[in-house]
Structure 1
Amino acid sequence: MIDIAAFNKNLKNGHIENCYLFCGNDEFLMRENIRLLIKRVLKPDFIDLNYVKFDGNSLENFDAVINACETLPFMSDKKVVLVYRASFMEEERGYKSKLSGEFKKIKGYLKNVPQQCILIFYCVFKSKRDKPGRIIYSLDKDICVVKADKIKGYQLENKVQKFFQIRGKNIRKMDLRIFCNLMEGNNLSVIENEVEKLCCYTCGRDIKREDIQKMFLSGSEEDIFDVVNAISNKNLKRALYLLNELVDSGAKTNYILSMIERQFSMLFKIKLLLERGKKKPEIMKLLKIKSGYGYSIMVQQSKKFTLRQLKRSIGLCLNTEKNMKSLSLDGKTELELLLINTVA
């Protein structure tokens, strides 16, 4: 069993199998990668003649699927046969369904799919807690099984950035990270819809952080500033109180973390530039700080930390982000631990 990244690598290197089973929670991700496979093996002018689709939920038997596989491609080296939403492969009761006997028959056929054909199945898990069952594992030794898990972290950010680029929109890296952190569930289909909304809202101009705040945000940067200010004053009680206020007001924990990380990063840059002898106008221009008052406040705040403390705080933020994304830990608890560690 391989993941989407391994599938993409194999596709790029020209390693293409005769039979695939895609399984996972994200149907958008599966369909997108199947499109990449089809684009790689079929000529655009002959796709309609060499691409056959079947609805797995409507199949009475596999005769039509096998016949499609056995038919020679037209003006092409390959043809593609897709059985989508093949739920009979996901469910344990699949062997007892109306397709049980037929499925046992086609299992043997999967090992001998003709060289001129690429047969693809995909099944979407009903819950994010679902895992591949015995049916899928029994096929893994005979065909290429691709697990389409939700993408996260930098992979998700790169994917979402492409959504913006397709629509001719520019978005800064930090704003992109904030946007991704505000998206719940990492469902690419849902995220693409939100990207479309944001692009329509900002028609004719680049996306600004204020646009993301207006459309998706509860809470404000001032509240984040107050949290960091409490940390700089070693006032843990105040910092935890403000954190709880933010969470109770509806701010997403991912967003809070991103903004705390951004604030520490800004303080680090300001302090570093000041120590290198840079002046206020140059620093404001380099860091794109528009408010002279805001700059003065951040300078005062930066003086309460050493460069080492700020660097450590940024590292703690990155570690907290990693834990929240990869270990599915409670976001609020992780933020509380972050505040405790930064004050310590």
Structure 2
Amino acid sequence: MIDIVTFGRNLEKGHIENCYLFCGSDEFLIRESIKALIGKLIKPEFIDLNYVKFDGSSLEDFDTVINACETLPFMSDKKVVLVYRASFMGEEQGYKSKLNAHFKDIQKYLKNVPEHCILIFYYVFKSKRDKPGRKIYRLDKDICIVKADRMRGYQLENRVQEFFRIRGRNIKKVELRLFCNLMEGNNLSAVENEVEKLCCYTYGRDIKREDIEKMFLKNSEEDIFDVVNAISNKNLKGALHLMDELIYGGAKINYILAMIERQFNMLFKIKLLLEDKKQKTEIMKILNIKSEYGYNIMAKQSKKFTLKQLNRSIQLCLNTEKNMKSLSVDEKTELELLLINTIA
């Protein structure tokens, strides 16, 4: 088993295997790597004739894949057969595909793939905590397994810098590192989307630290407003859905928790000041709230809670944070319980 960086180095040197299995939580990174591999093997004008794709999530039998592999390439030395989203490579119990029952047949064929064909599978993990299972390890001798973990550190910085370069923008090292620290843990698709937003936000001028902080704070606050708003409306399903969207988008669970706790703290203070007959401008000054729009939303939300409810919600946040730090628990489950308990 090799990592995505080693795969890239091997590809540059022309070291190409007969069969590959890409697995990991970052589908964007997997697809990029496969695209680079295909680019090394087949000329663009012959792609349609020598590149065959199958959807692994709906594949009923492996015979069609074998037939594609056995067919000779046309005006090319190689052909590529890709089975994408190959769910049968996972360990999920009760998976319906017939291929789950014929896994040994698939493993047997991997030893007999013709030299003219490059057979590729890719399997996307269900969550960031998933790891290669027994099935994947059983294939390690018969296929080159490439694990596509989400990029971190210098790898992520280099890739992000490339995203900016493609868009004709420069970003200084300090700003680049700040951006990457905020984006670490996201898939590359989400990272590229944020690069695009930042380029649009700073169009015609240099990218500054303040731009990055403002952009991330604005996005985060709006998302948390929505979660707390769902809680205030007793909409558990909506709150859980919004939380899942935040996690899917790459937000870290402890960060989501901190933002929810911060929001409840702010609502508590606003409600306390409102009950003390303070005016909007005075409250904004006391709490250092710069945006009138943001204040109006929070003031409206605060009216949907009593002080007792807000105080209880803050305590629930603190207890959840304590559990995450001191116990061996599933963080996502703890966050879901927090939402359930704040609505109860």
TM-score by length of 2: 0.62
- Report Cα offsets for 1:97-120 as digits up to 9, x if no partner: 422333321211111111111000
Equivalent-residue separation in structure 1 for 2:261 and 2:177 (angstroms): 22
Q: Match for residue 187 of structure 1? A: 187
Native 8 Å contact 1:7 1:146 kept in 2: yes
Equivalent-residue separation in structure 2 for 1:246 and 1:105 (angstroms): 50
Q: Are residue 215 (structure 1) and residue 215 (structure 2) matched?
A: yes
Equivalent-residue separation in structure 1 for 2:92 and 2:126 (angstroms): 13
The 1:175–1:31 alpha-carbon spacing in structure 2 relative to 1, beyond 3 Å, is same
Q: Match for residue 130 of structure 2? A: 130
Native 8 Å contact 1:92 1:134 kept in 2: no
Q: Match for residue 32 of structure 1? A: 32
Q: Match for residue 146 of structure 2? A: 146
- Report Cα offsets for 1:8-54 as digits up to 9, x if no partner: 11111111011000011111111111111011111111111111111
Which amino acid letter does the alignment assign opposite residue 64 of structure 2?
A
The 1:170–1:138 alpha-carbon spacing in structure 2 relative to 1, beyond 3 Å, is same
Q: Match for residue 81 of structure 1? A: 81
Q: Match for residue 5 of structure 1? A: 5
Native 8 Å contact 1:95 1:103 kept in 2: no
- Report Cα offsets for 1:253-289 as digits up to 9, x if no partner: xxxxxxxxxxxxxxxxxxxxxxxxxxxxxxxxxxxxx
Which amino acid letter does the alignment assign opposite residue 162 of structure 1?
E
Native 8 Å contact 2:50 2:78 kept in 1: yes
Which amino acid letter does the alignment assign opposite residue 199 of structure 1?
C
Equivalent-residue separation in structure 1 for 2:55 and 2:262 (angstroms): 45
TM-score by length of 1: 0.62
The 1:28–1:94 alpha-carbon spacing in structure 2 relative to 1, beyond 3 Å, is farther
Which amino acid letter does the alignment assign opposite residue 32 of structure 1?
E
Q: Match for residue 112 of structure 1? A: 112
Give aligned-pair identity as a percent: 75
Which amino acid letter does the alignment assign opposite residue 75 of structure 1?
M
Equivalent-residue separation in structure 1 for 2:8 and 2:89 (angstroms): 23
Q: Match for residue 22 of structure 2? A: 22
Native 8 Å contact 2:58 2:97 kept in 1: no
The 1:171–1:110 alpha-carbon spacing in structure 2 relative to 1, beyond 3 Å, is same
Equivalent-residue separation in structure 2 for 1:94 and 1:203 (angstroms): 51
- Report Cα offsets for 1:208-238 as digits up to 9, x if no partner: 22221221148xxxxxxxxxxxxxxxxxxxx
Native 8 Å contact 2:28 2:189 kept in 1: yes
Q: Report deviation, 1:249.
A: 5.5
The 1:136–1:94 alpha-carbon spacing in structure 2 relative to 1, beyond 3 Å, is farther
Equivalent-residue separation in structure 2 for 1:177 and 1:215 (angstroms): 15
Equivalent-residue separation in structure 2 for 1:184 and 1:90 (angstroms): 26
Partner SS state of residue 178, structure 2: helix
Unmatched runs of 5 consecutive residues or more in structure 1: 219-244, 251-328, 331-344
Equivalent-residue separation in structure 1 for 2:183 and 2:81 (angstroms): 34
- Provide the aligned length of Structure 1 versus Structure 2: 226
Partner SS state of residue 113, structure 2: coil
RMSD: 2.3
Q: Report deviation, 1:92.
A: 4.5
